[in-house]
Chains A and B, each alone.
Chain A
Amino acid sequence: MTTRLAIALAAALAASTAAAQEPIRIGLSTPLSGTAANLGEHDKWGAELAVEEINAAGGLLGRKVVLLPQDNRCNPAESVKAAGKLINEDKVVALLGAMCSSSTLATMPIVQRERIPFVVAISTASKITEQSGAGGNVWTFKTNPTDSGLSKALLEFLARDRKMKRVAVVAEDTDYGRGGADAMRAAGKEHGIEITTADFFPQGTPDFTTLLTKLRAQRPDAIAIYALGADQINWFRQYVGFGMRVPMTGRVNNEEINKQFIGQGAVNGTTSVFPYDWRVDTAANKAFAEKYRAKHKVAPFYQSFYSYEATQILADAIRRAGSTDAEAIRTALRATRYASALGATIAFDANNQAHNFAVITEIREGDIKVVGLEGT
């Protein structure tokens, strides 16, 4: 009888120690296949690096942390499935993701219903912020700047440092492009820059010469472009071939401009606003970029950096909450004061939106230079 009791006690004890050592599960919903898979990979690598560092420093609340990435294919329907699986089957304590704005918007109602903290770090649609925080989705927190914050930062720079008065917008005919153009118009009013025209083109438009001809005749101070991937590459090829002298600006992805054009000085004077650039010269960012490069042989992307910091911010909240209770984590997130490697302090406003710096870059003398950090 006593032996049996002893065995039962021992078993109970073993189970409770196992529970104490059960890792803390964090879910990551991101595209790991499909056209955005490349960016999703950087998202995952950023979060993984943060988790590795947290575990090397002894974990959280005496427990190890595991990251559970789930493919959402940058597709709203798949994102709903991914969030459901992470929350109901994998029993994650909090969710990171979902990279594409439409995926994030599809995930938000689920975290609201399941009452799970959701830290968004990459999607830029202003709608996410408008729907979050007090009076809305209190479980969603967003660490990166929105479209309107980025446009505000860019136009402030162009008006103040470049004395620009007239900017033309060329954008793809999607939520991203239309949203970007709207944000430019609003920010233009605020900073005394006239948005001369906003031209929209369908994604995959082969020929930009008509637009280039029109804009050359219009002579704006700069052309702001909102185009992704191949459209931006195609635009720059035709822009250079056309011998256009008006400088480019907008949300230019510097990493996707033909290296030859940059080297030849064909795109000198191109300015851009982006949430992140690995060239930002702070000690913390240099150390991060160094670690990332050592591991993956490439410079960190915007996705890598923001995913890394979002994971750290979430871990910091769990540590301060002292438990993995969802309500406790949410309350701790609200009180976040996190020093971003970009130099700003991350704190969430009434809409659970943080206001990190935006990075302004310029292509100068055949090279990409960081020329300013602007508040969003």
Chain B
Amino acid sequence: MDFEDTPEEAAFRKEVRAWIDANAPKHLEAELRRANFGSSGVVSEDPIAAGKAWQKKKAEAGWACLHWPKEYGGAARTPIERVIWGQEEGPYAALSGPFTIGHGMCGPTVMAWATEEQKRERLPPLASGEEIWCQLFSEPAGGSDLAGLRTRAVKADDGSGDWIINGQKIWTSGAQNSDWGLLITRTDPDVPKHKGLTMFFLSMRTPGVEVVPIKQANGASGFNEVYFTDVRIPDTQRLGAVGQGWEVSLTTLMNERLSIGSGMSAGFPELFRFCMEAEVDGRPAVEDSSVRSKLAQFAVRQSGLKYTGMRAITALSKGETPGPENSIGKLVAGATMQDLSIYALDLQGQAGVLWDESSPQNGRFQSMLMRSPATRIEGGSDEILRNIIGERVLGLPGDIRVDKNVPFKEIPTSGKRK
């Protein structure tokens, strides 16, 4: 066992480090180090523009979408090289926030299902950051039960082969900045729900698409509602066969959970630093035995995540596929983040209620408290993740599905009970 690079990995790391050192936007480093929960931390300039500039620079030098094939704007690097790049990019990775969904989820789906011509047309501008993509999946009636979605795509009756889309999506991250969207719709309500879905991609500027930001519980607006009113798109923008949408969506969702779960910090280093400085009963908090017990439990969850990630990197380094242990990442990080932030406020005493310039670490723990409920829901809720671990890792049977073999239109919904 060791944490050393192989000679090839070390050479690659050296090359990456030198390039980043010579090219990174260092004037933004201090702001980026304050990055927190989806915001890049950049305030001195437009974060989207800053992200696009960094992505373009990387693409021009061959450092964008490292694992993608070269013909689609990638660099055809190995998974372990991608990991090393991520480690070396450090704080500047936060600049790539706007591209996370496009690069991590939409791109791989397009790569798996689009025509060669579409791939060569759409993927390079996604890789280089010229174009931002969003994922139009969740709906008011279909979140955890994604296949319950109700947005309809109907063939136009003019013989053009075009599709007319009507409906509503919700929780769409980054839709307000996006150029393109990956859209899952219902094309046949007369068959069981998983069988009547079809996947498309479309320009977010297509007439009839309206993006409305959602004001979240924490006051921020990262998520959106997206409304579709008689939106017409050509059949060529379909991914997979009509009725194959569920299968196509699994490509995206598999990538989503990998992308959201990997390398997450649960916030322990920051809590530990806070406890080194804070006082409990006139002594440093870290000297108090009850504080120590709490901290230790947070510490082992954080280090467990860290070394689980390293076990995955070990597999990649050997050219193997990482095991199922990575499925715990987001489940552990989300819940730990929430518990940890509640505890950090507790240690701040009655002043923990404040979320202003007097709050320790720029109000990091208050931000974490208010953002963490979303982490436990987005990209697969805690409960869905437990189902996945139970069924796919431990081999337990699925729940009995009362809607499985019923035509979609006959399934009871919240407003329509039998």
State yes or no: do A and B come from one complex. no
